[in-house]
Structure 1
């Protein structure tokens, strides 16, 4: 069934897709969204945060005052680089066979267009849109800067949806109610360089690094928790950089990536790796960067409201899940209950990323129903 919306989500999605916005995004893509939101009653605050190498990053905080609880929609206009091999230009969107093609179609300009169109359809309610240009990148000057801006202005949402592409096989089949945490850890093991024929005059760092990694590889962090799969440790890089076959190197390095559930914490994992490294290689240097801690919005009023809207509009009962990578919900979860719901994720970050026109319109209808349900509730 074709549904007509006052603000056409397909047209807005095409305009957003046509504005190239490889992370970190600034400029024209924000112009397009600001014009659309300004036309439907939002006051728009755009600002730039950060400097090189992780910035500058543009962010947008749009607010429309109304009745009921304050509902926030969060998303990002930046996209990953398109890569080679597209059927058509990744930033010259085309409709073919009922599909809209372009980088960012599902991740996540399509959802942003759908939310704006839903806001045009449902004029009541207090709504904010929190849009960053730095989700696909380091995420240093994006949503965290938006949260600071909101605190400065006294803007505090009570409910939040992040429009990430959570659907798997069909629109509406999955809602994310949490995400695992993520930490990257670098291990540098110093040695003493020398000739392989005189090992007593050297200290081979590779042997020590292998011992460190063997112990780490044997770790079973946990068996999972009520809503999360088991935490996992993966070795993502090994570097020696030794071009000579007869030289014992001066240093060996490795990088780990750990995705962890709510039974772990990023800092504790870094400390555990550091303790193992020190036992096998005194003086080893271990550095960690926690991208985000695990978070969970337990099943409750927000997930029930969103699931109910999906069921009524689409006839689909969504699964509540915590699978997948990190998202900006890890920051927003500190403000209020947050869930993620958006388009089908089959083509995100791929060549010929595309969204079905029918799904764009259907997602707009779901978001509109969510807005109606939120606006009908008494303010907290």
Structure 2
């Protein structure tokens, strides 16, 4: 897809190495998943003059949209360590555009706040990456025994199939190694510097269908109501405390997200009943252990009757839990946050998932970005001062990583 004229013109402006100006140029590319709409071109135009080698990587998979990704690297592989910044230029839909104070892709600044879809999640953080790298390399006059890379996907807000996971596989096949990574997801609840992520919980979804026999409620002996069995299963699952958490993770949590029988009539016993649940779990649990427990609960309830009751169970892994153990890398990031914001960040593992779940299999990874109060909302925005301070944090992390 061609780069929109406004984005192409903006991307040639040297002033884009200012994080706020570059963030505006990125926001003006309406890159709703899986569309790119010029966002990666804006980044390439900002990175190439700094000496980055930029590679567009397009991946496909049956039943999913093709996705464009960007891997940009400064320096030669094998010469020192490779520090990676990772993020995504795709954004969620804007919703009701009329509800926005300003056009969602206008990137307007009002009262010190940059408005636009992606301002918080996470185009501003990507702009902060670039500005940090530019200042860092300028201070060293381009001399560095190592590599700096940016791994940018257009698939994080979507299926996450043709994005970061495949870029990482491609790099491994090419023999290219990442030694550490910072993901720029919005991690702070209220103020910049409050929180960084050093891990994430796992996610497991269970889809349970219990079958019975449809019939008239006045003749229950001629029918078989599946609802009581489904409720017994859910009660057994919800009634167990999975664990009490540990030093880095809160307790694992099971939530029932839907129950449905598809039955609009009040005088019909339904033929089947369905439920969906999701477990966000910590490192005290394993995917296989949870799956086995769920299946045993279904079998125990449905096997109580003489001939047994039929059920179907579909189990889907969304993410595995991981933890980047506190050590020199985590400490360096925390020190950079404190130096740039004046706040000592909480080392957290809360929240949903991110592409860090893929990166952790290749190198140590932490997450630090902007305040997430408005991400995915109408009037998404980020404080201009925070964007600049975030860039200072990233520059400080580079200094610490490549110290000496």
- TM-score category by the smaller chain? over 0.9
1:151-176 CA-to-partner distances (Å, cap 9, x unmatched) read: 12211111111111112222112111
Dislocated runs of 4+, deviation >4 Å: none
Distance 2:132 2:87 in 1: 15
Q: Distance in 2 between matches of 1:91 and 1:278?
A: 52
Q: Give the Cα–Cα distance (whole angstroms) in 1 for the partners of residues 365 and 258 of structure 2.
A: 34
Q: Which residue of the other structure, out of 76, 81, 91, is the alignment partner of 2:93?
A: 81
Q: Distance in 1 between matches of 2:338 and 2:272?
A: 57
Structure 1 distance, partners of 2:80, 2:344, is 26
| TM-score under structure 1 length normalisation | 0.94
* DSSP-derived class of the 2:396 partner: helix
Instruction: Give the match's secondary structure for 2:273.
Output: strand
In 1, the alpha carbon distance for the partners of 2:347 and 2:369 equals 13
The correspondence for 1:348, drawn from 375, 382, 391, is 375
Give the distance between the partners of 2:49 and 2:295, measured in 1 at CA: 54
Task: Work out whether residues 90 and 103 of structure 1, in 8 Å CA contact, stay in contact via their aligned partners in 2.
Answer: yes
Q: What is the TM-score normalised by the length of structure 2?
A: 0.89
Deviations 1:316-357 (A, max 9, x none): 211111111111111111111111011111111111111111
Contact kept, 8 Å, 1:126 with 1:375, in 2: the verdict is no
Q: Choose the corresponding residue for 1:118, options 129, 132, 137.
A: 132
CA contact (8 A) 2:71 2:150 kept: yes
Find the partner of 1:205 among 226, 231, 234.
226
| 1:266 to partner: Cα distance | 2.2
Structure 1 runs not aligned, ≥5 long: none
Question: Retained in 1: the 8 A contact 2:57–2:167?
Answer: no
Range with bigger deviation, 221-230 or 160-169 = 160-169
Instruction: Give yes or no for the alignment of 1:106 onto 2:130.
Output: no
Deviates further, 16-25 or 51-60 = 51-60
Instruction: Give the match for residue 299 of structure 2.
Output: 278
Q: Is residue 399 of structure 2 the alignment partner of residue 372 of structure 1?
A: yes
Aligned to 1:41: 51
In structure 2, the partner of 1:306 is: 333
Of 225, 240, 244 in structure 2, the residue corresponding to residue 223 of structure 1 is: 244
| Structure 2 CA distance for aligned equivalents of residues 71 and 202 of structure 1 | 64
Alignment partner of 1:128 is 2:149: yes
Gap regions ≥5 residues in structure 2: 1-14, 138-143, 303-308
Q: Retained in 1: the 8 A contact 2:29–2:36?
A: no
1:358 aligned to which of 364, 385, 394? 385
The alignment status of 1:193 with 2:214, answered yes or no, reads yes
Query: Is contact 1:25–1:134 with CA below 8 Å preserved after alignment?
Result: no
Q: Could you tell me which residue of structure 1 aligns to residue 83 of structure 2? A: 71
- Choose the corresponding residue for 1:291, options 305, 314, 318: 318
Q: Residue 52 of structure 1: CA displacement?
A: 5.5
Cα shift at 1:267? 3.0
Give the one of 63, 68, 71 matched to 1:61: 71
**Are the equivalent residues in 1 in contact too, given 2:212–2:310 (CA < 8 A)?**
no
Deviations 1:105-161 (A, max 9, x none): 011101000001111111244111111111112212211111111112211111111
1:32-90 Cα deviation digits (max 9, x unpaired): 11211212111111122124533212211111116642101111111111112111111
Q: Would you say 1:160 and 2:170 are equivalent positions?
A: no
How many correspondences in the alignment?
373
Q: Distance in 1 between matches of 2:339 and 2:221?
A: 74
**Kept in 2: contact 1:105–1:355 (CA 8 A):** yes
- Contact kept in structure 1, 2:256 and 2:278, CA below 8 Å: yes
CA distance in 2, matches of 1:253, 1:80: 29
Which structure is higher in RCO with an 8 Å CA cutoff and minimum separation 6? 1
Match of 1:28 in 2: 38
